[in-house]
Structure 1
Amino acid sequence: MVRGETTGVPAEEHGKSEPREGAWESALSVREFAAVGSAGFDPVGLVLGTAIFHVGYTGAFTCTYEQFSSRSLESTNTQWRPFSGLVDAMYAVRTTALRRAVSECRARGGDGVVGLTFRIREISAENVEFTAVGTAVRARSSIRPRRPFTSHLSGQEFARLVHSGWVPTGVAFGISMASRHDDRHTVRQSGWTAGNQEVDTYTQLVSQVRRDARAQLTREAAKNGGDALVVDDMELRVRERDCRIGAKDRVAEALFVGTSIARFERTRKPAGPAPLTIMRLDRNRNDLADEPSRKPAAGDGTPAATQMPEEVSTAT
C-alpha cells in the first residue's frame, strides 16, 4: 500500500496572510528578480515542499497477456487499470509536496509561487523523495487571490505572461503507464532477420501512453481553472520486464508537467489611434463669407501679380 511520512508537515495549512518582515531568501536570478518586479510582484521568500513515499504495490505483478490472452496492450486508462497503485503513488507524492510548498507561500503572505522546480530521488528500493522548490511572490495590490497559484515559469516568462494578459493558475501533472507483451508479431518485426522496418506494436505502446498522459494533464489543468496550458517537460521511459510464459514485456511510463493559465480582464481601450482635437484659429465662417476678397498685400506671404513696366516713348 502507499503511505506518506508526516515528518515536516506544516502545523497550519493556511498560515498567515500578511507578508513577513526581515530578510528573506529567493531562488530567482537577478534578471528574474527584475522581471517579476516589472510585472507588479515582489518576491517574499523561498518555499519548499517535500514528501517521502513508500511504494509497496504497483498494481501489475504479472503479464497482462498471461492474464488476458486476447489483449497484448494494457494502460492505466483501460478497464483493468494496471499499474494503478504505482501511478496513484506518483500523483500523491507530487501533489503532497506541491501542497506543502503552497502552504509555506501562504504563511509568508504570498499570492503565488514562480520558478518551481521538481526533484525526485530514490532513498531506498521502495522509498522515493519528491521535492518542490520555488519563490513565493506577492502582488502590489489590495486584491488577494482565493488561493496561491503555482507555476514552473521562470521570472522572465512569468512577467511576459502577465504583460500579455494571462496569469498562471496552477501546476498540472499528467502520468500514465502501459505495458505491451512481445507477441509473435512483435518478435517477427524486431528480430535480427527483420531488417529495417517499423515495429508498429512498440509505436502503439508509446503513442497510447503519451495520449493518456496528455489527457490526464488536460483534466488537471481544467481543475485548476485554466483556459490554456504551457507544457514544461515531457518524459518517456521504456523498460523491459520478464514474462513467465517465456517472452518479454515492454513497460512504458509517460510524464507531462505544465502550468495552466487563464486570461484576466483589463480596461478595454478603443481600437485604433485616439481622435485629435482640432481648434479653429480663423474667424467665424459667416464673416469670412461676407468679406469681399481682398487683394494680397505686400509682406503677407501671398505672391503678388507681376506688373510689366510701361513703355516709354521718346519724342524726336
Structure 2
Amino acid sequence: EKTAGTFISFFFAIALIFDPIRRLTSVSGSIQGALINLERIYFLFDQKPAPRPSAKADGLTQPLGDIEFRGVNFSYGPVPVLRELSFVAAGGKTTAFVGASGAGKSTLFNLLTHIELPDSGTISIGGQNIDSLEVHNLRHSIAVVSQESALFDESLHDNIKLGDVVTDDRRIEQAAVDALVSEFAAELPFGLQSLAGPRGSNLSGGQRQRVIIARALLRDAPILLLDEATAALDNQTEIQIQTLLDEFTRDKTTLVIAHRLTTVMNADLIHVMKDGQIVESGSHTELLAKGAHYSALHRTLATD
C-alpha cells in the first residue's frame, strides 16, 4: 500500500536516527562522569578542618627573626617522620637541608606553613610561637617555591599575580622579566596573557617553574621557602635563576631543600637529615672536611 518514495523515506529516517542515539549515549557517559566528580567535591566540602590552636597575635613581630624548631615530632598516621627535631635557622640567612628522599625535609615546610601540625614540640619565628598566629597572617609572611608547580588555567599574568588585587602590572612584568618568564612568553600568541592551561599543561616543566619563581619574587615576603626550586630547569637557566635567587635572598630568612648540592653550596648553614633527624651541620667546606654523611652524599652525586 506504500509508494516507493514513502518506503525509501522510512529507511532514510531509520538511518538518520542512529547519530542522535549515539550522541545521547555520549551525553549519558558525561553525566555519569560529572556525578562521580560531584561526589568527590561534596566529600571534600563535608570535611571539617582539624582543630587548631587559638590565635592571639595579628602577625609576626619579627618577620626576619630566627626560625626555631624545638623537639618537634611528627607522624603521618603510624609512620614517624620527624623525631625530636631541633634546629635554628638564623634570620636573614640561608639555611639548607639535604638528605635522602623520605628524610623529612619537605615536612618541615608543611609544618612551618601550618599545613600540618606537629604531634609535639614547638615552632617559632623571632621567638614567637607560630601557634599564636592566624594562619592567614603567618602565610602572608612566607613565599614558597616548590617542586610541584601549582598553576591554574588562567593567563601567565594572573598566575603570577595569584589573587593580589593591589599589585600593579609593572611589578608583575618586572617579576616575569627577572624570573625569565618573558623569554618564553614573548613566543606565545598573547604574551603574558596566554593561558597556562589546566595545571600549567600548556607549558613545559621548566616554564612552569619559572612562573612559580616569578610569583615568589612578586610576593617579596620576608621568609622564603625553596623546595627543589630549580629542579625542572635546564643547566643554563638554572645558573641564571640561581644567581637571581642568591641576590633576592640576601635580606630574607631562606630555607632551602635540594638534592643537587650545587644549589646549596653557598648556604650559610647546611643541615644533613636522616630518618627525621639532623645528623650533621656546617658549611659546605666544613661538611666535606668531616668526611661523613655530607661527604658521602657529595661523592654519590658526583658519581651519578
Q: TM-score range by the shorter chain?
A: under 0.3
TM-score between both structures, scaled by the size of structure 1: 0.22
TM-score between both structures, scaled by the size of structure 2: 0.23
